[in-house]
A = this chain, B = another copy of it.
């Protein structure tokens, strides 16, 4: 077997572990339960899952781990997280590399997905791109000259906290994540139901399927509250991405995340950027596209990319 790395994608519910080849093929993978009862239990769950998975694995040359929260990639330290109770920095890379006897690298999940794009996605066409994931929240990775732009503490790309002002007749506090993310849209809906108690979103909520996709669906069917929320999400994302094009002058803008199941969203962003971005920035932009990477694989491919990135440096 050719040499491969282990990718470990740590989420609040599951830990997905898999062997990934240099060409981005997932050779073998398995899902484990995450434990978020305490920091200690979370770390133990990660270590034990890796331990179990690697019983039958050979040819591994490195491990890459994708984590939520603030990660010091250089030092291999998981600094903090909110969904998973990490309150004291954990030197997870050192801890695991001693145990596993191979190099271990960490990064946050958005940088990981961006590296997957660089290796096996849009990076095949360009060395300068922005990756934006719009799901429950909004995350962004920045690549220039085939390198991640990390900022001073590996925290660059917090586009969800970009203030773009109130959307006319909309709800919310003017931040991109509040207006445009899945989680934000649900919050807007719950808030809006006070003013629109007869909205279909009320039954969706009671039935437990109030999501961005059902809000978009209700908007298409003319529900007034859903229409406000859907419109402001679409407009907000278009404004936000135009800011990003003007600020970063990327060659490609590539999107991932559940929000783009709504097919009109990408077309709307293309049109708005085309009309509102600065001419030079707009003309330099070769594409606004949805990722080709499979939604279910991107976490694992991203985690593996962290390891592959560092292998190339060795």
Which listed residue (B152, B158, B250) contacts A151, Cβ 8 A?
Answer: B250
Identify the interface centre among A149, A151, A162, A174: most chain B CB within 10 Å of its CB: A151
Contact of A150 with B249 at beta-carbon distance under 8 Å, contacts A163-B165, A164-B165, A165-B165 already known: yes
Task: List the B side residues contacting A213 at CB < 8 Å.
Answer: none
Task: List the B side residues contacting A140 at CB < 8 Å.
Answer: 247
- Which of chain B's residues has its CB closest to A163's CB? B239
Task: List the B side residues contacting A7 at CB < 8 Å.
Answer: none
Q: Is the CB of A155 within 8 A of B280?
A: yes
The number of times this chain is found in the oligomer is 2
Task: List the B side residues contacting A126 at CB < 8 Å.
Answer: 152
Task: List the B side residues contacting A150 at CB < 8 Å.
Answer: 144, 249
Task: List the B side residues contacting A174 at CB < 8 Å.
Answer: 165
A144-B150, A151-B248 known; 8 other A-B pairs, CB under 8 Å? A128-B151, A151-B249, A155-B284, A157-B247, A157-B249, A161-B243, A163-B242, A164-B164
State the interface size on chain A (CB cutoff 8 A).
Answer: 40
Q: When chains A and B are docked, how far (Å) is the Cα of A166 from the Cα of B79?
A: 37
A302 to chain B, nearest CB (A): 20
Which listed residue (B159, B161, B249) contacts A155, Cβ 8 A?
Answer: B249
Q: When chains A and B are docked, how far (Å) is the Cα of A250 from the Cα of B165?
A: 23
Q: When chains A and B are docked, how far (Å) is the Cα of A156 from the Cα of B152?
A: 18
Identify the interface centre among A144, A159, A164, A247: most chain B CB within 10 Å of its CB: A247
Task: List the B side residues contacting A239 at CB < 8 Å.
Answer: 163
Contact of A158 with B281 at beta-carbon distance under 8 Å, contacts A151-B249, A166-B165 already known: yes
A280 to chain B, nearest CB (A): 5
Task: List the B side residues contacting A154 at CB < 8 Å.
Answer: 249
7 A-B pairs closest in CB distance = A165-B165, A151-B249, A152-B251, A156-B249, A153-B284, A158-B246, A128-B152
Against B, the Cβ 8 Å flags (1 = close, 0 = not) of A74-100 are 000001100000000000000000000
A276 to chain B, nearest CB (A): 8
Task: List the B side residues contacting A152 at CB < 8 Å.
Answer: 126, 128, 249-251, 284-285
Which listed residue (B144, B243, B250, B285) contacts A163, Cβ 8 A?
Answer: B243
